[in-house]
Amino acid sequence: MRCIPAIGAACGDAKQGKMLRITWKQNGEVVFKLCGRMDVENVGDLTALFASEGKGHRIVLDLLELTLVDRDAVCFFEGCEADGIELRNCPTYIREWITRERQRG
């Protein structure tokens, strides 16, 4: 399993809880486990990881330890699902927000 300790956050932000940790493993599918807070700054980083690590594999996002997201992150997750990426252990508030964004169109 590989880990990126803090994506899209400066070292000082970690003290304020503004950090996203991503770990992933490959075994037929690539599972990215997201921990902490995710916002628009992290979307590009995840997209780059999908391109570099997910080639030829099924991609799964494990959101169990994701504590806070913004609207950009929710829209990103909605697009991920539309592209066939599984959202595993998706917190209820994120699932409901994704549903509302889909209904908005």
Higher pLDDT, 87 or 3: 87
Predicted TM-score (pTM) of the model is 0.80
The whole-number pLDDT of residue 1 equals 56
What's the rounded mean pLDDT across residues 69-79?
Answer: 96
User: Of 9-13, 47-51, 81-85, which one has max mean pLDDT?
Assistant: 81-85
Looking at residues 64-90, what average pLDDT do you find?
Answer: 95
Query: Quick check: helix, strand or coil at residue 53?
Result: helix
User: CA–CA distance from 65 to each of 22, 37, 52, 85 (Å)?
Assistant: 10, 9, 23, 18
**Domains of the chain, each with CATH number or no CATH:** 2-104 (3.30.750.24)
Give Cα separations from 29 to 8, 22, 47, 48, 57 (angstroms).
Answer: 25, 16, 16, 17, 5
| DSSP letter, residue 98 | H
